[in-house]
Amino acid sequence: MSTQPAGFKSWLFTTDHKKIGVMYLVTSLVFFVVGLLLALIMRTEQLDLTKKVIIDADLFNTAFTIHGAAMVLFWMIPVLLGFLANYMIPLMIGAHDVAFPRLNALSFWLYVGAGLIAVCALILPGRLDTGWTGYPPYSIVGPANTAFYVFAVHLLGASSIAGAVNFITTIITLRAPGMTWGRLNLTVWGLFGAFIIQIVGVPVLAAAVTLLLFDKYLGTSFYDGTKGGSPILYEHLFWFYAHPAVYVVALPVFGVVSDIISTFSRKKVYGYTSMAIAIMIITVVGFETWVHHLYVAGTLNWTRVVFMWGTIAIGVPTGIKTFNWLATLHKGSIELTTPMLHALGFISLFTIGGVTGIANGLLGFDIQVHDTHWVVAHFHYVLAISMSMLCMGAIYYWFPKFTGKMYNESLGKTAFWITLIGAMIAFLPQFHLGYDGIPRRYWKLPAKYGPEMKVAVIFSYITIVGFLMTLYNFVHSAIKGKKAPANPWNSLSLEWQIPSPPPFYNFENIPTITDGPYEYGKPADNTVKAH
Amino acid sequence: MLKQVVRLLMAALFVSIPYAAAAAERLPDPVKAWNNHFKTWAVVSIVVYLVVTVPLIYFVFKYKRRKKDENGAYIEGNTALEILWTIVPMIIIIMLGVQSWAVFNDLRDVPKDHIEVKAVGFMYGFEMYSPEGIMTLNELRVPVGNIKVNLSSKDVIHDFALPAFRTREDMVPGENTYLWFSAKEPGEYPVYCAEFCGSGHSSMLAKVIVMKKEDYEAWVKSKQAASSTTAALTPDVKGKELVEKLGCLGCHGIAGETKAGPALNGLIGKSEELEDGKKVVIDEAFVMEKIADPKAKPVKGFSHIMPPNALAKEDYEAIAAYLKTIK
């Protein structure tokens, strides 16, 4: 057994998946706070719809650009595919480390580099104001320094591709003896699907922004409709990755929800096989949806119809997952710990986002609400707040494992309820604006929506306070928390069978797996067929 | 169990087929069709939400953990049930999809008896052209009837969003797109730009004015009469018309306010610093040069997003003459 090196350098030069995981967590949480502060600023600006409150239109545009990029690209994807995958996959499949530890470290540092460029885009002159989508021609003829955007995407893309190669290899080749595909945690299944999407999609995005760079700085005309190109080409290439990117976030989240619900219901995940199949279906069908972002972009009418069916078809595997979660709760032995509350809160928010997302997918419906506040409300329910909340739940759930300390349960529950109440109401008024067809990304909205926006602003503040309390809980508990036992939840999953925090090489000897992670209360006799 | 499920599915299918057929039947009015579609969706969504959240809350209370080391029941799954909650969402989605497809056809298939107008987006406003070729800025006047609007853009992607008629479509530079609406009631209907286009995005507003046929014809006549007298105008009056017609006021104020570009009043005679540090006093020649090629001699403190213009020489002079008159 090697011993664990100590000190500052041991973090800087580490190739240990656990340390890299923790560094991903800390960095992504920093970006989460940046995103929250930008949300705070934008919401404050919406307090008065008739005049400037604190920022002008240009700063508002920069705020929503960086808010979107920070939240999706630098918080949600890294916390799941960086922290969670790094820390949990080797522990869950029974491996000493990932397949390529040094490549893993490179992934992390590329992510940090991309993050620094994103910060530059926020504070240096030529602030990025194009929206996180960076549509040409505005990103080409507009005042923004689009190079920030392109290079951030390049570095982050390289990081993502390296990560995807690494983890797909790890999951396929480093599973412990007896760890069959049918015994993997659903978290691992979700991450597996997410990494497949990354490896297929990210190169396309990288190509798209590279052409943008050429158009802006070298005078090419890939996206110039007056010189033989087409701005719509960019939209296709961008959304080919950027829509599946929401499944990159969603699939691991689905997996984590299954893990948490199973642990705290002390009951096997209902319909394990259909859960795994649903994940893989979303992975594939997710690539047949992107044109719904171009429903009103002059796309051929029949193309829109084709992609409508692809888009709303996603509702079916998602529905399967939701009902299986409910069936897992049925006849369980449910304990409402903080992580469990987050998982259940996620389902309640996600369902609002889900049904309103079907509305966006429905072609005839969408034309009225396309690019309106309806869409903003929808993706905050389905993705932004619900999944950020679930990420908090995931951090709570594995907090004893990776810190070796217990978090503060009562503060955790209080913060949860504050976040949930805020999140439930904060975006409801915007469905009304969307129904009226009021476009998003407006610095100033029509003044008659003042009262609605005040409600939205106040409850957004409440949500933000809830999240900040959760973050305080993490920091405080990591320093001053009580020492955690190896397996505080009595979980059967492999990562809980080793000490907290795990030793340097995870497992003294690679274990031989004889059963799945969810076999709670399995009858001792062999009358029940095991996986 | 399986038998019951199959029976239930048959019943559901039996109920839904005529419904889907009715939904696919063309409604003549896209607004009405959309409103119906919304109602159907809303009912389905509320039911789905309750079907998920009510059992969720019920189970949490019913199956609360009683003893410390208690396990839940050992259940692997149930194929019949899992098939049920695959097929039922599928049916719901197909029903909604068919209805939406029908609404979409209503929204996109332009009726044969229609009038064609044109709208061109720019940063930040809309140029509207009537069938007679009359250009108006940020207001589209149309007679009662079916209106097809051909859309394009001068600079970046904009969008012509017309919520009152449940329709919108992007305006893409270098491409031609369209939308149509059925103008039934005379009145004013707001138009928004719904594709992010920069600093002035949220003030890129316009309206569609639907007029009675006779009112519209009278308006066309008055406009045509006015334009035949334009030739005799003095340069500064002609310049004022040009500034309004070319959409300059989307980015330039005439009351001292700085928008995306500098205010036009008092501009001539002002001294400004260029990006290379040189100081210039703005005169007529400078203004004329900048209108033709806005990227030349960039002035400090502004983003240089104005599109170039190719006007006749006397038009440049007319605009300069107009600018001299506003202080």
Contact B41 A362 (CB under 8 A): yes
User: What pLDDT is stored for residue B229 in this prediction?
Assistant: 65
Domain A22-497 grouped into CATH 1.20.210.10 = yes
As a whole number of angstroms, the distance between CA A423 and CA A36 comes to: 13
User: Based on the number of CB atoms within 10 Å of its own CB, is B16 exposed (0-12), middle (13-18) or buried (19 or more)?
Assistant: middle
Among B303, B150, B327, B318, smallest CA distance to B246 is for B318
Q: Which one-letter DSSP state was computed for residue B230?
A: G
Contact B196 A230 (CB under 8 A): no
pLDDT tens-digit series, residues A10-39 = 888 999 999 999 999 999 999 999 999 999
Among B320, B173, B228, B25, smallest CA distance to A140 is for B173
The token pair at A111 is 């992510």
Domain B115-227 grouped into CATH 2.60.40.420 = yes
Q: Across residues A239-266, what is the average pLDDT? A: 97
Under a CB-based contact definition with an 8 Å cutoff, are residues A457 and A427 in contact? no
Instruction: Classify residue A266 as left (phi > 0), alpha (psi -120 to 50) or beta.
Output: left
CA A391, A392, A393, A397 torsion-angle sign = positive
B174 neighbourhood in chain A, CB within 8 Å: 224-226, 229-231
Q: Which of A 318-377 lie inside 8 A of B, CB atoms? A: 319-320, 322-324, 326-327, 329-336, 344, 347-348, 351-352, 354-356, 358-359, 362-365, 367-368, 370-372
Band of the pLDDT at B28, cuts 50, 70, 90?
A: low
pLDDT tens-digit series, residues A165-208 = 999 999 999 999 999 999 999 999 999 999 999 999 999 999 99
B190 neighbourhood in chain A, CB within 8 Å: 446
Give residue for tokens 């080391």. B69
User: What pLDDT is stored for residue B300 in this prediction?
Assistant: 78
What residues does B273 pair with on adjacent strands? Answer: B279
pLDDT at A319 over 50: yes
As a whole number of angstroms, the distance between CA A250 and CA A387 comes to: 7
pLDDT tens-digit series, residues B169-186 = 999 999 999 999 999 999
Q: Which range is least confidently modeled, A449-463, B10-24, B97-111, B185-199?
A: B10-24
The token pair at A63 is 């705020």
B124 upstream amide cis, omega within 30 of 0: yes
Mean pLDDT of chain A: 94
Q: Across residues A479-502, what is the average pLDDT? A: 95
**Is A316 in CB contact (< 8 Å) with chain B?**
yes
Contact B173 A225 (CB under 8 A): yes
Measured distance between the N- and C-terminal CA atoms of chain B, rounded to whole angstroms: 85
A334 neighbourhood in chain B, CB within 8 Å: 59-60, 63-65
User: What pLDDT is stored for residue A526 in this prediction?
Assistant: 55
What is the enclosing helix (H) or strand (E) of B273? Answer: strand B271-273
Buried b (16+ CB within 10 A) or exposed e, A70-84: bbbbbbbbbbbbbbb
As a whole number of angstroms, the distance between CA B210 and CA A439 comes to: 22
Q: What Cα–Cα distance (Å) separates residue B144 from each residue in A287, B186, B300?
A: 43, 7, 48
* Other beta carbons less than 10 A from residue A459's beta carbon: 20
As a whole number of angstroms, the distance between CA B22 and CA A511 comes to: 61
Give residue for tokens 């969408």. A366
As a three-state string, the secondary structure of A374-413 is HHHHHHHHHHHHHHHHHHHHHHHHHHHHHHCECCCHHHHH
Q: Across residues A78-87, what is the average pLDDT? A: 97
Q: Which residue of A has its CA nearest to B160?
A: A296
**Is A182 in CB contact (< 8 Å) with chain B?**
no
As a whole number of angstroms, the distance between CA B31 and CA A230 comes to: 32
pLDDT at A5 over 80: no
Nearest-5° Cα angle at A495, A492 to A501: 130
Q: Across residues A505-523, what is the average pLDDT? A: 92
Query: What's the fold here for domain B233-325?
Result: Cytochrome Bc1 Complex; Chain D, domain 2 (1.10.760)
Under a CB-based contact definition with an 8 Å cutoff, are residues B280 and B271 in contact? yes
Band of the pLDDT at A530, cuts 50, 70, 90?
A: very low
Residue A429 contacts by C-beta under 8 Å, 6 or more apart in sequence? A449, A452, A453, A455, A456
Contact B74 A368 (CB under 8 A): no
- Helix residue ranges per DSSP H, A404-449: 409-426, 428-435
Contact B63 A348 (CB under 8 A): no
pTM: predicted TM-score of the whole model, two decimal places: 0.89
The token pair at B154 is 């001068």
Among A418, A417, A419, A428, smallest CA distance to A386 is for A419
The token pair at A204 is 């396309």
As a whole number of angstroms, the distance between CA A346 and CA A355 comes to: 14
Domain boundaries, chain B: 2-108, 115-227, 233-325
Residue A137 contacts by C-beta under 8 Å, 6 or more apart in sequence? A223, A224, A225, A231, B155, B156, B157, B173
Under a CB-based contact definition with an 8 Å cutoff, are residues A413 and A486 in contact? no
Under a CB-based contact definition with an 8 Å cutoff, are residues A183 and A531 in contact? yes
Among A128, A29, A43, A45, smallest CA distance to A83 is for A29
**CB-CB: which of B167, B175, B196 is closest to A298?**
B175
Phi and psi angles of residue B153, each rounded to the nearest 5 degrees, phi first: -140, 150
B49 neighbourhood in chain A, CB within 8 Å: 351-352, 355
pLDDT at B56 over 80: yes
Q: Which range is least confidently modeled, B159-168, B202-211, B260-269?
A: B260-269
pLDDT tens-digit series, residues A258-269 = 999 999 999 999
Band of the pLDDT at B16, cuts 50, 70, 90?
A: low
Which range has the top average pLDDT, A4-13, A119-128, B53-62, B66-75? Answer: B53-62
pLDDT tens-digit series, residues B97-124 = 999 999 999 999 999 999 999 999 999 8
Q: Across residues B45-68, what is the average pLDDT? A: 95
Half-sphere exposure of B75 (CA within 13 A, CB side): 19
pLDDT tens-digit series, residues A345-394 = 999 999 999 999 999 999 999 999 999 999 999 999 999 999 999 999 99
Q: Which range is least confidently modeled, A15-24, A108-117, A319-328, B253-262?
A: B253-262
Q: What is the value of ipTM here, to two decimals?
A: 0.93
pLDDT tens-digit series, residues A407-447 = 999 999 999 999 999 999 999 999 999 999 999 999 999 99
Q: Which parts of A49-159 are beta strand (E)? A: none
**CB-CB: which of B63, B104, B174 is closest to A331?**
B63
The token pair at B17 is 């087929």
pLDDT at A531 over 70: no
As a whole number of angstroms, the distance between CA A98 and CA A494 comes to: 16
DSSP characters over B52-105? HHHHHHHHHHHTB--STT---------HHHHHHHHHHHHHHHHHHHHHHHHHHH
Q: Which CATH class is domain B2-108?
A: mainly alpha
Q: Which of A 249-268 lie inside 8 A of B, CB atoms? A: 265-268
Contact B192 A266 (CB under 8 A): no
**CB-CB: which of A226, A336, A439 is closest to B60?**
A336
Q: CA of A343, closest CA in chain B: separation in Å? A: 11
Amino acid at B49: Y
As a whole number of angstroms, the distance between CA B29 and CA B35 comes to: 10
Mean pLDDT of chain B: 87
Nearest 10 degrees: CA dihedral of B10, B11, B15, B18?
30
User: What pLDDT is stored for residue B232 in this prediction?
Assistant: 65
Nearest 10 degrees: CA dihedral of A144, A146, A152, A156?
130
What is the enclosing helix (H) or strand (E) of A89? Answer: helix A85-93
pLDDT at A1 over 50: no
Phi and psi angles of residue A412, each rounded to the nearest 5 degrees, phi first: -60, -45
Domain boundaries, chain A: 22-497
Band of the pLDDT at B285, cuts 50, 70, 90?
A: confident
CA A100, A102, A105, A110 torsion-angle sign = negative
User: What pLDDT is stored for residue A4 in this prediction?
Assistant: 60
> What share of residues in chain B are helix, strand, coil (percent, to 5)?
45, 20, 35
Contact B73 A267 (CB under 8 A): yes
Instruction: Classify residue A371 as left (phi > 0), alpha (psi -120 to 50) or beta.
Output: left
* Other beta carbons less than 10 A from residue B207's beta carbon: 18
As a whole number of angstroms, the distance between CA B126 and CA B130 comes to: 13
As a whole number of angstroms, the distance between CA A364 and CA A344 comes to: 32
- Helix residue ranges per DSSP H, B165-212: none
